[in-house]
Structure 1
Amino acid sequence: MSETPDSVVRTYIETHRAAFLDDLAEWLRIPSVSAEPERAADVRRSADWLAAKLAETGFPVTEVWETGTPAAPGAPAVFAEWPSDDPEAPTVLVYGHHDVQPAAREDGWLTDPFDPVVRDGRLYGRGAADDKGQVFFHTLGVRAHLAATGRTSPAVHLKFLVEGEEESGSPHFLDLVERQAARLAADVVTVSDTGMWSRDTPTVCTGMRGLAECEIELYGPDEDIHSGSFGGAVPNPATVAARLVAALHDADERVAVPGFYDGVAELTETERALFAELPFDEQEWLGTARSQGTLGEAGYSTLERLWARPTAEVNGIGGGYQGPGSKTIIPASAMLKLSFRLVEGQDPDRIERSVRAWAQARIPAGVRHKITFGPATRPCLTPLDHPALQAVVRAMGRAFGQKIRHTRAGGSGPAADLRDVLGAPVLFLGVSVPSDGWHSPNEKIELELLLKGVESSAYLWGELAAAPH
Structure 2
Amino acid sequence: MAHFLEKELKALGAQVELRELGPQGAGTNVDLPPIVLGKYGNDPNKRTILVYGHYDVQPALLEDGWDTEPFTLVQKDDKLIGRGSTDDKGPVLGWINSIEAHQQAGIEFPVNLVFCFEGMEEYGSEGLDDLIHEEANKFFKDVDATCISDNYWLGTTHPVLTYGLRGCSYYSVTVEGPSADLHSGIFGGMVSEPLIDLTHVLAQLVDPQGKILIPGVNDLVAPLTPDEEKLYDNIKYSMDDLYSATGSKTNLFDTEKESLKARWRYPTLSLHGIEGAFSAPGAKTVIPAKVIGKFSLRTVPNIQPRELDELVFKHIDNVWKKLNSKNKIEVKLLHDGLWWLSDPHHWNFEAAKKATKAVWHVDPDLTREGGSIPVTLTFEQALKKNVLLLPMGRGDDGAHSINEKINVDNYINGVKTLSAYLHYVSVEPSS
Distance 2:189 2:87 in 1: 55
CA deviations over 1:2-53 (Å, ceiling 9, x no partner) = xxxxxxxxxxxxxxxxxxxxxxxxxxxxxxxxxxxxxxxxx34323333324
Deviation at 1:190, TM superposition (A): 0.9
**2:210–2:268 CA contact under 8 A, matched in 1:** no
Deviation at 1:72, TM superposition (A): 4.1
Q: What is the number of equivalent residue pairs in this alignment?
A: 414
Does 2:66 match 1:66?
A: no
Q: Which moved more, 1:288-297 or 1:89-98?
A: 288-297
Q: Which of 21, 33, 40 matches 1:75?
A: 33
The equivalences for 1:156-171 within 5 A come to 157-171=112-126
Distance 2:291 2:356 in 1: 51
SS of the equivalent of 2:270 reads strand
Give the letter for the 2:320 counterpart.
I
Distance 1:167 1:108 in 2: 21
Match of 1:14 in 2: none
Structure 1 pair 425–254 and aligned structure 2 pair: CA distance change class (3 A): farther
Does 2:406 match 1:449?
A: no
Q: Which 5+ residue runs of structure 1 have no aligned equivalent?
A: 1-42
SS of the equivalent of 1:94 reads strand
Match of 2:140 in 1: 184
Question: RMSD of aligned C-alpha atoms?
Answer: 4.2
Give the letter for the 1:408 counterpart.
R
Distance 1:146 1:154 in 2: 12
Q: Name the structure with the higher helix share.
A: 1
Deviation at 1:120, TM superposition (A): 3.0
Match of 1:33 in 2: none
Length-normalised TM-score, structure 2: 0.78
Deviation at 1:433, TM superposition (A): 1.2
Distance 1:165 1:393 in 2: 30
Larger Rg: 1
Distance 1:228 1:162 in 2: 53
Distance 1:297 1:418 in 2: 37
CA deviations over 1:413-443 (Å, ceiling 9, x no partner) = 2323323333333211122113433344544
Distance 2:190 2:96 in 1: 72
Deviation at 1:304, TM superposition (A): 0.9
Q: Which of 279, 296, 306 matches 2:263?
A: 306
CA deviations over 1:158-205 (Å, ceiling 9, x no partner) = 211111233444333223323333313433221111122344211122
Distance 1:151 1:287 in 2: 40
Distance 1:269 1:50 in 2: 49
Match of 1:135 in 2: 92
Match of 1:391 in 2: 351
Q: Which 5+ residue runs of structure 2 have no aligned equivalent?
A: none
SS of the equivalent of 1:416 reads helix
**1:254–1:298 CA contact under 8 A, matched in 2:** no
Distance 2:273 2:253 in 1: 19
Does 2:230 match 1:273?
A: yes
**1:145–1:459 CA contact under 8 A, matched in 2:** no
Structure 1 pair 373–110 and aligned structure 2 pair: CA distance change class (3 A): closer
Does 2:378 match 1:417?
A: yes
SS of the equivalent of 2:117 reads strand
Does 2:426 match 1:468?
A: no
Structure 1 pair 320–434 and aligned structure 2 pair: CA distance change class (3 A): closer
CA deviations over 1:209-242 (Å, ceiling 9, x no partner) = 2111112234578898989889xxxx98777656
Structure 1 pair 360–442 and aligned structure 2 pair: CA distance change class (3 A): closer
Distance 1:118 1:294 in 2: 30
Deviation at 1:453, TM superposition (A): 1.7
Structure 1 pair 326–51 and aligned structure 2 pair: CA distance change class (3 A): closer
Q: Which moved more, 1:105-114 or 1:443-452?
A: 105-114
Structure 1 pair 252–134 and aligned structure 2 pair: CA distance change class (3 A): closer
Distance 2:359 2:306 in 1: 41
Structure 1 pair 68–207 and aligned structure 2 pair: CA distance change class (3 A): farther
SS of the equivalent of 1:436 reads coil
Does 2:50 match 1:96?
A: no
| Identical residues among aligned pairs (%) | 29
Match of 2:302 in 1: 345
Give the letter for the 1:82 counterpart.
Y
Distance 2:102 2:384 in 1: 27
